[in-house]
Amino acid sequence: MPAPRCPAVAPESAAPVAAPGPVDPAQAREFLEQFHAETSPAMSLEGRLHQVHNELELTGSYTHTLEELSFGARVAWRNAARCIGRLYWNSLRIRDRRDVSAPADVAAECIQHLRDTTRDGAIRSTITIFAPDRPDERGPRIHNEQLVRYAGHRTPGGEMRGDGRYADFTDTVVALGWERPNPRGRFDVLPLMVSGPTGGPQLFDLPRDAVLEVPLIHPDHSWFADLRLRWHAVPAISNMPLEIGGITYPAAPFNGWYLGTEIGARNLADTDRYDLLPIVAERLGLDMSSERTMWRDRALVEMVRAVQHSFDVAGVTMADHHTESERFLTHLGREERAGRTCPADWSWIVPPVSGGLTPVYHRYYAEPDPSTRPAYLPAP
């Protein structure tokens, strides 16, 4: 069933975006050569290239087999220079929904994606791939950065309630018809904003049963529960197009599972997000009179401890930055033994807490190449 629909859609008079062009045959060939070099498909490379050539001549595009699609999505994860969790790239579960493009159907499948991957906390790496761009016809788009994000509400007094990073997005969906909860909370789940091949974006609320949330507690400080913090269990990135062999899938939400520092040291700590370190430090009784007391550092560690502890108590999959750093170097070794380089963005691979205590800090990596494909592309 489609997700519940908000009462308004964007006006269809919005400025049109240029239609996609035909697929570059050289990009198709390069991908198919890689696919055949790393796997053992039933059809020969020559036979498949002949098929694709004919399809490109007729339509300007071609259709990936399920095996090609799965390989491409997994290799795109392997190529993701900012991801420390690439050891698991070949276990990505594929939900092939290339026949889906209508906004209501896309939203319904996104909701099912969340249900399928959550599994009561045993998070499973999953991607749902919707209809691709075709010559003169755009595929659907999901405008949310992640399937689950919290609203940011500006108060009349100039304060922020909720996630400050999403205040502008919240204002946008309100202008399109979404009604802010009353009262406005700090963890109000935003609706999905989806565009189809034609028309403006439409809004769809996420049902409660599709969003598993973890209440945050601390292993040593009972007062932490009084802060009434929580976070959602599944980090499903949803606005990065997937490009495989010259074909762009503009809507391809995918998820792994959280690293504790993502929530504790960034989402809840960044000054443009929830900015909670001063509150935690005050409750800890820390001396905040000077930066030299390192009160931020001490509060940050306790915040990450609380997040990690809470997910463990709730039985929800979560990685820690020390273990994941070791596993990334395991992945790096495997890639080198396979004769491949493993580009990495050092500033993303090194965790935001205790970076110097992790092995990923003490070395350099191959520079990322923006032209590498398959890839998850920066959000348009």
Query: Which residues are known catalytic residues?
Result: 83, 86, 257, 262
Mutual angle of helices 25-38 and 45-59, in 10-degree steps: 150
DSSP letter string, 3-49: PPEEEEE--TTSPPPPPP-PPPHHHHHHHHHHHHHHS--SS-HHHHH
Q: Token pair for residue 22?
A: 């035909």
Selection from 263, 111, 80, 87 nearest residue 187 by Cα: 263
- What does the alpha-carbon distance between residue 337 and residue 174 come to, in Å, rounded to a whole number? 52
> What is the 8-class DSSP label of residue 219?
S
What is the identity of the amino acid at 132? P
Contacts of 318 (CB under 8 A, 6+ apart): 257, 258, 259, 260, 307, 308, 311, 312
DSSP letter string, 22-34: PPPHHHHHHHHHH
Q: Is 109 helix (H, G, I), strand (E, B) or coil?
A: helix
Q: Token pair for residue 279?
A: 């509150």
DSSP letter string, 224-265: GGGG--EEES--EE-S--EEETTEEES---EE---BHHIIII
| Alpha-carbon 222 to chain mean position | 32
Q: Is 200 helix (H, G, I), strand (E, B) or coil?
A: coil
Q: Token pair for residue 259?
A: 């690293």
Could you count the other beta carbons within 10 Å of the beta carbon of residue 210?
20
- What does the alpha-carbon distance between residue 174 and residue 191 come to, in Å, rounded to a whole number? 10
- What does the alpha-carbon distance between residue 99 and residue 25 come to, in Å, rounded to a whole number? 23
Q: Token pair for residue 255?
A: 């998820």
What is the identity of the amino acid at 12? E
Could you count the other beta carbons within 10 Å of the beta carbon of residue 338?
9
